[in-house]
Amino acid sequence: MGNSANNSFDAFAIAGLSPEGRRTLQQWSDHYAGLLMSHLRINYGNLTAAQRFAELVHLLEAVLFSTKKHHEFLTYLAMVTEQDRFHAALPPIFVPMLLHGRPG
């Protein structure tokens, strides 16, 4: 049950996590997915529980994706506000284009 839903979160896995760490993370993920599904079945019945579980998985994916993009945006802002780092990170031809919207 948990494997198909949890595989969608692989994109958000921590880089460099050991195989043992991945196994532990997967076990806890399956455990909590099972608890959530049991709770939903008790409160809503089988069909509605499955629908609500899918909705919650999609909501969690959206939150994780949004968080990732927010982090990327804040990283970009840090690059722009710290001019020395920003200029060093890009080829010089791109700097005026990104800062002023036109080629230098």
Q: What is the pLDDT of residues 67-87, one digit of tens each?
A: 988 888 887 887 777 766 666
HEC secondary structure over the chain: CHHHHHHHHHHHCCCCCCHHHHHHHHHHHHHHHHHHHHHHHHHHCHHHHHHHHHHHHHHHHHHHHHHHHHHHHHHHHHHHHCHHHHHHHCCCCHHHHHHHCCCC
| Confidence category of residue 33, pLDDT binned at 50, 70, 90 | very high
Q: Which two tokens stand for residue 34?
A: 């099972």
pTM: 0.59
Amino acid making up residue 19: P
